[in-house]
Amino acid sequence: MQVAKLEDLYGREGISPGHSACAGCGMMVTVRQILLAAEPPYLVVSPTGCLEIVSSPYPYTAWRVPWVHVAFENAAAVASGIEAALRVLERKGLGKRHNIIVLGGDGGTFDIGFQALSGALERGHKMLYVCYDNEAYMNTGIQRSAATPLGASTTTSPIGKLEPKKDIVSIAAAHGIPYAATASPHLWRDLANKVKKALSYDGPSFMHVLSPCPRGWYFDSNQTIKMAKLAVETRIFPIYEIEEGRYRINVMVSKPRPVEDYIKAQRRFAYLLRPENAELLERFKKLVEDRWNYLLRMAEAFPAK
């Protein structure tokens, strides 16, 4: 496997600065890094969501690579069809295989495109499916998704969501795919290496990348990378990979920062900090702790080779 080097990444941007994302958009940092790390030739498939809205206001486009925008429900199904078609074209000597990268939001991945994703993973199509997770349906005005964390306010969970976040990486891995991983834009080398590793498999791979959103999480737009870093340092967003069923925690957080450092920095968690919601805050902390201990146990029981 190639290890990402900064100089390898120059001069092959997949997306140009001419887009209309909000200042400090974590999704754009995530997407840029993924495309810099991806081995050309590749093409991108995106369901509807912020990425589509900010990159393709007709008649303009910010894409420098082939890009297909599809419905909210079916990104993984469309990517499956493209992969199958390219295989045939290659076999007939009429085309060249491309890496296929799906870039979908959390709503399009955890919720609405979930059955298409599950089908594609089960059928074993060679593709990298990346969920850029800003933890709500952002482009339609901050509605809760299955990726919204417990306690976070959205327009459809105004006093804080009462259900925990869905464990999408375990679900993806349970399909028996060769590679599933989490990543964060503040750890660009880890993220780039994971993209290269994911694309090296002749099968489906899945990446879940935290993508802080200043607008929806209510923090200043110069704090995006700090939020991603805090999520990892508090163990709220563990950085790990599952390779052929084997677990590796890539960032071992032995002395976590208090979760309050993260939640106090974002106004979406205001309700979680109210004295009357102390129980909810305790539940939040327990979820973080349980998840971390679960990963430790998995890494011990099924260690990476």
Ligand X SMILES: Cc1ncc(C[n+]2csc(CCOP(=O)(O)OP(=O)(O)O)c2C)c(N)n1
List contacts with ligand X (CB under 6 A): 48-51, 72-73, 105-108, 112, 134, 137-140, 145
Cβ atoms of residues 264 and 214 within 8 Å: no
Q: Does 233 bind Mg ion (CB under 5 A)?
A: no
With contacts defined by CB under 5 A, how many residues of the chain interact with Mg ion? 4
Of residues 242, 76, 94, the one with CA closest to residue 169: 242
Q: How far is CA 169 from the centre of its chain?
A: 10
Decide whether 26 or 178 has the Cβ nearer to Mg ion.
26
Contacts of 180 (CB under 8 A, 6+ apart): 169, 172, 173, 205, 206, 207, 208, 241, 242
Of residues 68, 56, 53, the one with CA closest to residue 98: 68
| Cβ 50 to ligand X shortest distance, Å | 3
Decide whether 138 or 281 has the Cβ nearer to Mg ion.
138
Q: Does 204 bind Mg ion (CB under 5 A)?
A: no
| Cβ 152 to ligand X shortest distance, Å | 13
Q: Give the number of C-alpha atoms closer than 13 A to the C-alpha of residue 125, restricted to the C-beta side.
A: 29
Q: Give the number of C-alpha atoms closer than 13 A to the C-alpha of residue 107, restricted to the C-beta side.
A: 17
Burial of 292 (0-12, 13-18, 19+ CB in 10 A): middle
Q: Does 106 bind Mg ion (CB under 5 A)?
A: yes
3-state secondary structure (DSSP) of residue 133 = strand
Stretch that binds Mg ion, among 67-75, 103-111, 255-263, 273-281 (CB under 5 A): 103-111
Decide whether 54 or 281 has the Cβ nearer to ligand X.
54
The enclosing H or E element of 103 equals: strand 99-105
Return the residue of 46, 74, 80, 134 that touches Mg ion, per CB under 5 A.
134
| Cβ 38 to ligand X shortest distance, Å | 20
| Cβ 45 to ligand X shortest distance, Å | 13
Decide whether 133 or 243 has the Cβ nearer to Mg ion.
133
| Cβ 73 to ligand X shortest distance, Å | 6
Decide whether 105 or 151 has the Cβ nearer to Mg ion.
105
Decide whether 106 or 233 has the Cβ nearer to ligand X.
106
Of residues 102, 59, 91, 53, the one with CA closest to residue 215: 53
Residues that bind Mg ion (CB under 5 A): 105-106, 134, 138
